[in-house]
Amino acid sequence: MSTAVPPAGAHLRLRGRVVGDGGPVVMAVVNRTPDSFYAAARHDDASADAAVDRAVEEGADLVDLGGVRAGRGPRVDVAEEIARVVPLVARVRARHPELLVSIDTWRAEVARAAAAEGVDLVNDTWAGHDPRLVEVAAEHGLGVVCSHTGGARPRTDPLRVEYPRSGPLEDPDDGLDGVLDDVVATVTAGAARAVALGVDPGSVLVDPTHDFGKNTWHSLHLVRRTAALVALGHPVLMALSRKDFVGESLDLPVDERLEGTLAATSVAAWLGARVFRVHDVAATRRTLDMVAVVRGDRPPARAVRGLA
């Protein structure tokens, strides 16, 4: 049995700056929405500002600002999405000039408006549904997230999705590698297009996008196979926080999924994932720092036991 530590993933660079001193990166979720699946993440203007301040205090390297719930709900048009998130981008940039800011949108118009206010990263959680989105990122020197939804359209839920295996199984008992094949093919193509348009390869994140276009078995398998995504050579983003695959694994409601989230986070971090999109910044920061120490990527903050 091998005891080797898995290879570290690629560093994240945004605007030429290595994020998080090359260690694990915490991306804090701040949703300017009234209907996010996790009630604690629902913010109006005033509470969104406070949530960003708190995330910075708790150790976030990056904040991800969203204006539309990912799942089904009332329609939010482009104008409303811009009204919700672009003024927030401007306020965050003014209040925290050094903080890196991401915009969670699948719409090029929203990304362009946010770019004008100084956003650093476009988090496209719907896998290039709007092909102009990556063009906006390239035009403005932004990073971009290349995600996977199995072809699902924005704000739809999966139903009986299947991913046939395209090649021989590494393990004959493992029938889930079809989803890994599809994820790898999708994010590889998306990353290649972004780089061809001029986005820095270190600013192109790949995200297997757990729960989107997937059942719980698929999402669990993608945590297990994190190393295959790390091997693609781009920073790997994991958006695991309080998701349904965690809840179904433990039969817990969204408010009780922190420990399950941190367990999955630890596995993915050990296997080399670099960026973690989270609701619980302080707990995730400590978890990732501990994994980094165990991996040997950073020293303990303090080590005096047995030495004095």
The verdict on residue 288 lying in a domain is yes
The verdict on residue 307 lying in a domain is no
Report the distance separating Cα 229 and Cα 179, nearest Å: 12
Report the distance separating Cα 249 and Cα 210, nearest Å: 13
Taking the CA atoms of 242, 243, 246 and 249 in sequence, report the sign of the dihedral they define: positive
**First CA to last CA across the chain, in angstroms?**
36
pTM, two decimals, is 0.94
The verdict on residue 301 lying in a domain is no
Longest CA–CA span in the chain (Å) reads 63
The verdict on residue 15 lying in a domain is no
The verdict on residue 18 lying in a domain is no
The verdict on residue 19 lying in a domain is no
Residue pLDDT tens, the chain, 308 long: 567 899 999 999 999 999 988 889 999 999 999 888 888 888 998 899 999 999 999 999 999 999 999 888 889 999 999 999 999 999 999 999 999 999 999 999 999 999 999 999 999 999 989 999 999 999 999 999 999 999 988 988 888 888 987 666 555 446 688 999 999 999 999 999 999 999 999 999 999 999 999 999 999 999 999 999 999 999 999 999 999 999 999 999 999 999 999 999 999 999 999 999 999 999 999 999 999 999 999 999 999 999 97
Give the CATH number for residue 161. Answer: 3.20.20.20
Taking the CA atoms of 67, 69, 75 and 78 in sequence, report the sign of the dihedral they define: positive
Could you give the number of structural domains in the chain?
A: 1
Contact criterion met (CB below 8 Å) for 138 and 112: no
The verdict on residue 95 lying in a domain is yes
The verdict on residue 269 lying in a domain is yes
- How many other C-beta atoms are found inside a 10 Å radius of the C-beta of residue 157? 12
Q: Tell me: the pLDDT tens digits for 23-81?
A: 899 999 999 998 888 888 889 988 999 999 999 999 999 999 999 998 888 899 999 99
Q: Tell me: the pLDDT tens digits for 204-226?
A: 999 999 999 999 999 999 999 99
Question: 155: domain range?
Answer: 26-295
- Please calculate the CA angle 225-213-229 and round it to the nearest 5 degrees: 25
